Amino acid sequence: MGAADHVLRSMLLCLMSQRPILIISMLLLVSSHHTIAYGVKYHCRKVGAEEIIDERGCELMIVRVNRCSGHCLSFTFPNPITGKTSVHAKCCRMTDTEWVNTELQCDDGPRALKIPSAVQCDCFDCAVH
């Protein structure tokens, strides 16, 4: 029996005994095991991007800003205690922001703009709607 089979067997035994804390711990263990086994790495980082500003009556403008991009751990599983689906989801989000000041040239005169740009990124809980 391989390590993955042993982990899955332990998880099933835990499910049968209905110990919610152990269930969550086992799922985290299995998810991290598969992450390592398949070479998937979770990362969230700042990347440069070009934003096109296209407002009616103004010249087209391209502004360089930073965005957050990457992959974070997330999974869902049926919770045998509650009968509902439990969700653990992390999303790559900005943790610190700076404002890029620029000026659009428009028919009715210059227009000041402030555009948010990422300074730092990290994995945080996703908003659930």
Question: What crossing angle do the helices spanning 3-17 and 20-37 adopt, rounded to 10°?
Answer: 160
Which amino acid is located at 39 in the chain?
Answer: G
pLDDT in tens, 39-75: 556 789 999 999 999 999 999 999 999 999 999 988 8
pLDDT in tens, 85-128: 888 899 999 999 999 999 999 999 999 999 999 999 999 988 75
Domain 42-129 class in CATH: mainly beta
Q: How far apart are alpha carbons 26 and 4 in whole angstroms?
A: 12
Which of 85, 79, 73 minimizes the C-alpha distance to 22?
79
Looking at residue 83, the DSSP 8-state letter turns out to be S
